[in-house]
Chain A
Amino acid sequence: MSSSPRRCAPARGSAPILAVILAATVVVGAAVLVPAAHAAAPGSYGIGTTPTEAEIAGWSIAVPPSGANLPPGHGSVSQGSDLFGTVCAVCHGAFGEGVADYPRLAGGVGSLATVAPAETVGSYWPYATTLFDFINRAMPFYAPHSLTPDQVYALTAFILNLNGIVPDGFVADAQTVPAVKMPNRDGFIWKDPRPLTHDTECMTKCVDPASLRITSTAKGDHLTPRTTGPVDDMKAKHP
């Protein structure tokens, strides 16, 4: 269904229909009350309220690559460095190297086509705006969406600098963040090429039995948690 034809037909257009239906209601009681969903003009159900500009602005935190919707404010690499050390390094490491299995935030540039690729913010993410957006909405992990715009700008600047993408003097703001060119900016194919395989429904002699080999088995591994008894936290096996 297309979205455009309905948009210039406000409630007025459907008023006669509603009137007929309301009239019919008197006669047949709880029969069909409103037009089918797909035929409805905007606002024809008349349910809900119109949000205020402030209500919309408060929840509209998503920042696209254009940088539209970035808030006023700014933050420098050195301000970000201080903040990162006190708020983020406990999980992500002082240099973004990642503590335990918490995500590593730096390094790996140039590794994507190797046998040991490291997909980090610096090596893999195509847009710097996503870094601002994600820190703002989800970090620090234990207190999401608790930082001020200046703090998020500073942390964005610091993490970009950790990855060698911006110089030490970089100040992040609504103009500079969207202008950053990430190393992997052009590394994505945004059109799904699948299906990747084109098998047939072979029923007999599909493979040569003589060539059939078991290449790996999970039998006897130490990776599988128990599937009986209480939930296995594997504490004994992985101290």
Chain B
Amino acid sequence: MTQEAAGTEEGSGAPAMASRRRLLRTGVVAGGAMLAASARAASPPDDPMWSRTLGPGVADRPYGQPSQYEKDAIRRYVPWLTQSTQSDVSFTPLQDQPGILTANGFFYERYHSGRPSVDPAQHRLLIHGLVDRPLLLSMDQLQRFPSVARIHFLECAANGGPEWPAAQLNSLQFTHGMVGCAEWVGVPLSTLLGEVGVKKEGKWVLVEGADGAHMDRSLPIEKCLDDCLVVWGQNGEALRPEQGFPLRLIVPGWQGNVSVKWLRRIEVGATPWYTREETGKYTELLPSGKALGFTWVNEAKSVLTFPCPEKPLTSGAGFYELRGLAWSGRGKIRQVDVSTDGGVSYTRAALQEPVLTKALTRFTLPWRWDGKPVLLQSRATDETGYVQPGIAELRKVMGTGSVYLNNSIQTWQVLADGSVNNVQLS
């Protein structure tokens, strides 16, 4: 018999083991009868095994875990993208994210020198440069400043990068999973800059991490004083080490790389530093040979998360709810339109509350599938009136050799058997 049938699998403590031994003994006696019972479906009229067993007690798993049946819902990576997992990216399983918040264990990772293990008691934030009063803060001291909680998405500028030349990865997780959304808790960067007093010549801010890469980026002072946050809280707990424990920057709506993790230094200067991450990387070489730099904003984007290659239509023709996520680095999502005919016509989807600025927004559309092949798309419009473009149109400007800035409309091809593929249209 299986452990699942005994309903004790999720427990790891001694009592669970003891009851499992008892059940195994019973199993020897009951033999075939037990097996037959466990193989039987848990549907009515039968009362399933877990309804007739005492489950494990509280705090047997002091830090909770997902159900054992959710083992597929994990971050994954594309091994051929880089040479070393310490300078690499893993992807959020968006197909398993029901709402707008990304579970901390799902949130995509991007490291340039691996994940440091930072001791919060020793961690310091240094603020200096063109300021009246340089400041050194411990975590305790930093957490005394007035704080806010905000929900924002983070998206890597390279999300969808492999799709520039052609439809390459047959998966929602790998085409769109370099995005996540969380509630962040911390101090507005403007409060800290106010406390040190920025000099008149201070127009740019360098933010730097405590990882081996000493990851650093230049940000214009206007953005720093607008809505940037220095945060320690993420979705109901401390930041995860993957997301910069104990301290990171959040630059709402801008490419993830500038939201420097393990933040330890903020320097105010007169001009940008032109760091490697804003010259050699995170710039966009155009077919002309010229390159775009300082392209920070994540333009409006959307994708259907159901159905998708990982979540096909498994029950044949009939009613389904089309579901997806939309976001824009320029503000709120105004509307999302969904097409079932490859973009010939669109129907307006319903946006689900809350619709927040620079946050993932959930949309749905009731749909009756006739069982024939269809081409599904979603198209977001943000509050500036900007409409998400098709890939063919974007390529006219960006070419096919790009890495970053792919916010194009995704097409999912649904075949008659309900399977779903990533395709691109003319």
- Cβ distance A193 to chain B, nearest Cβ, rounded Å: 7
Q: Which of A50-98 contact B (CB under 8 A)?
A: 50-51, 55-56, 59-66, 91
What CA separation (Å) do A138 and B166 show in the bound complex? 33
Q: A100-B83, A133-B275 are in contact. Are A201 and B335 (CB under 8 A)?
A: yes
Q: Is the interface of A mostly helix, strand, loop or mixed?
A: loop
Minimum C-beta distance from B111 to chain A (A): 12
Say yes or no: is B155 at the interface (Cβ < 8 Å to chain A).
no
Q: Is the CB of B170 within 8 A of A224?
A: yes
How far, in angstroms, from A60 to B100 measured CA to CA in the complex? 38
Among A41, A124, A196, A212, contact of B280 (Cβ-Cβ < 8 Å)? A124
Contact B294 A192 (CB under 8 A): yes
Choice from B132, B276, B393 contacting A134 with Cβ under 8 Å: B276
Question: Would you call B310 and A213 a contact (CB within 8 A)?
Answer: no
The 8 A CB mask of B29-55 against A (1 = contact, 0 = none) is 000000000000000000000000000
Q: Which residues of A contact B291 (CB under 8 A)?
A: 112, 124, 184, 187-189
Pick from B20-28, B212-220, B235-243, B315-323 the stretch touching chain A. B212-220
The answer to whether B128 touches A60 (Cβ under 8 A) is yes
Are the CB atoms of B76 and A225 closer together than 8 Å? yes
Q: Please, what's the 1-or-0 string for A29-47, where 1 marks a CB less than 8 Å from any CB in chain B?
A: 0000010111011111101
Tell me the smallest distance from the CB of B337 to a CB of chain A, in Å: 7
- Contacts of B380-396 to chain A: CB distance below 8 A: 381, 386-389, 392-394
* Residues in A neighbouring B225, C-beta threshold 8 A: 1, 3
Choose the segment among A17-25, A113-121, A150-158, A162-170 that binds chain B (4+ C-beta atoms closer than 8 Å): A113-121
CA–CA, A187 to B212, complex, Å? Answer: 29
Cα distance, A163 to B21, chains bound together (Å): 69
Q: For residue A195, which residues in chain B have a CB less than 8 angstroms away from its CB? A: 299, 386
Residues of chain A contacted by B170 (CB below 8 angstroms): 218-221, 224
Taken together as a complex, chains A and B put the C-alpha atoms of A112 and B341 apart, in Å, by 38
User: In whole Å, how far is B76's beta carbon from the nearest beta carbon of chain A?
Assistant: 5
Contacts of A127 in B (CB 8 A): 274, 279
List chain A residues, Cβ under 8 A from B339: 206
What are the residues of chain B within 8 A of A60 when measuring CB–CB? 128, 265, 267
Residue B287 interfacial (CB < 8 Å): yes
Q: A101-154: which residues lie under 8 A (CB-CB) from chain B?
A: 101-102, 112-113, 115, 117, 119, 121, 124-127, 129-130, 133-134, 137-138, 141, 144-145
Residue among A43, A102, A129 with most chain B CB within 10 A: A43
Q: Does B133 contact A200, Cβ atoms closer than 8 Å? A: no
Task: Report whether A130 and B274 are in contact in the complex, using a CB–CB cutoff of 8 Å.
Answer: yes
A233 to B82, CA, bound (A): 12
Which residue of chain B has its CB nearest to the CB of A192?
B295
| B9: interface (CB < 8 Å) | no
Within 8 A of A (CB), among B321-343: 335, 337, 339, 341-343
Give A60 to B264 CA distance when docked, in angstroms. Answer: 11
For residue B334, give the distance in angstroms from its CB to the closest CB of chain A. Answer: 9
The answer to whether A6 touches B194, judged by C-beta atoms less than 8 angstroms apart, is yes
Q: How far is the CB of B269 from chain A (nearest CB, A)?
A: 7
Please report which residues of chain A, range 201-227, place their CB below 8 angstroms from some CB of chain B when the two chains form the complex. 201-207, 209, 211-221, 223-225, 227
Known: A205-B344, A229-B72. A196 touches B397 (CB 8 A): yes
**CA separation between A43 and B343, bound complex, in Å?**
57
Asked if A225 and B425 make an inter-chain contact with CB atoms under 8 angstroms apart, the answer reads: no
Which of B213, B287, B292 contacts A138, CB < 8 Å? B213
Kindly list chain B residues whose C-beta atoms are within 8 Å of the C-beta of A47.
137, 141-142, 144-145, 195
- If A127-B274, A221-B170 touch, whether A101 touches B216 (CB-CB below 8 Å) is no
Query: Which residues from chain B contact A124 at a C-beta distance below 8 Å?
Result: 279-280, 285, 291
Q: A51-B126, A194-B297, A200-B387 are in contact. Are A141 and B136 (CB under 8 A)?
A: no
Q: Could you say which of A37, A101, A204 contacts B82, with CB atoms under 8 Å apart?
A: A101
Binds A, one of B101-109, B197-205, B363-371: B197-205
Say whether A62 contacts B425, CB under 8 Å: no
Q: Decide yes or no whether A27 CB sits under 8 A from chain B.
A: no
Q: Are B424 and A228 in contact (CB under 8 A)?
A: no
Q: Does B62 contact A (CB under 8 A)?
A: no
A83 to B292, CA, bound (A): 34
Cα of A5 to Cα of B43 in the assembled complex, Å: 71
Residue numbers of B with Cβ under 8 A of A are 71-72, 74-80, 82-84, 86-87, 93, 95, 112-113, 126, 128, 131-138, 141-142, 144-146, 162, 166-171, 173-174, 188, 190-191, 193-200, 202, 206, 208, 212-214, 216, 221, 225, 264-265, 267, 269, 271-276, 279-280, 283, 285, 287-297, 299, 309-310, 335, 337, 339, 341-348, 375, 379, 381, 386-389, 392-394, 397-398, 401, 405, 413, 421-426
Pairs across A and B, CB under 8 Å, 14 listed: A3-B193, A6-B197, A40-B194, A47-B195, A48-B138, A50-B134, A138-B276, A141-B113, A144-B214, A197-B387, A203-B346, A213-B425, A218-B423, A223-B162
